[in-house]
Amino acid sequence: MADATDDRLRLLIERIERLEEEKKGIADDIRDVYAEAKAVGYDAKIMRQVVRLRKMKPDDRAEMETILEVYKNALGLG
């Protein structure tokens, strides 16, 4: 029984390690795309914000934008 448990644990750990490697590879690919965008004149910082906004639900995004406007107005940035 212990051998089967040990084997399962080892397999799970190895699977996590493979996934971590894939995640690093994907992160490197994303970094390369942002570098390419920057090389042709796009602002990578703004692109990251756009990607973040596109991930949000429309209602959450609208709420955030409303609160941001309130804060900006309160600070005289409106």
Band of pLDDT at residue 34, cut at 50, 70 and 90: very high
**CA 33, 39, 40, 44: dihedral to nearest 10 degrees?**
60
- Chain mean pLDDT for the chain: 96
Query: Higher model confidence: residue 24 or residue 4?
Result: 24
Residue found by looking up tokens 């996590």 in the block: 16
- Going 41 to 46 to 50 to 55, the CA torsion angle's sign is positive
DSSP assignment string, 16-35: HHHHHHHHHHHHHHHHHHHH
Model confidence, pTM: 0.75
Mean pLDDT of 53-70: 97
Band of pLDDT at residue 78, cut at 50, 70 and 90: confident
- The tens digit of pLDDT for each residue in 13-29 reads 999 999 999 999 999 99
- Whole-number Å distance between alpha carbons of 66 and 74: 12
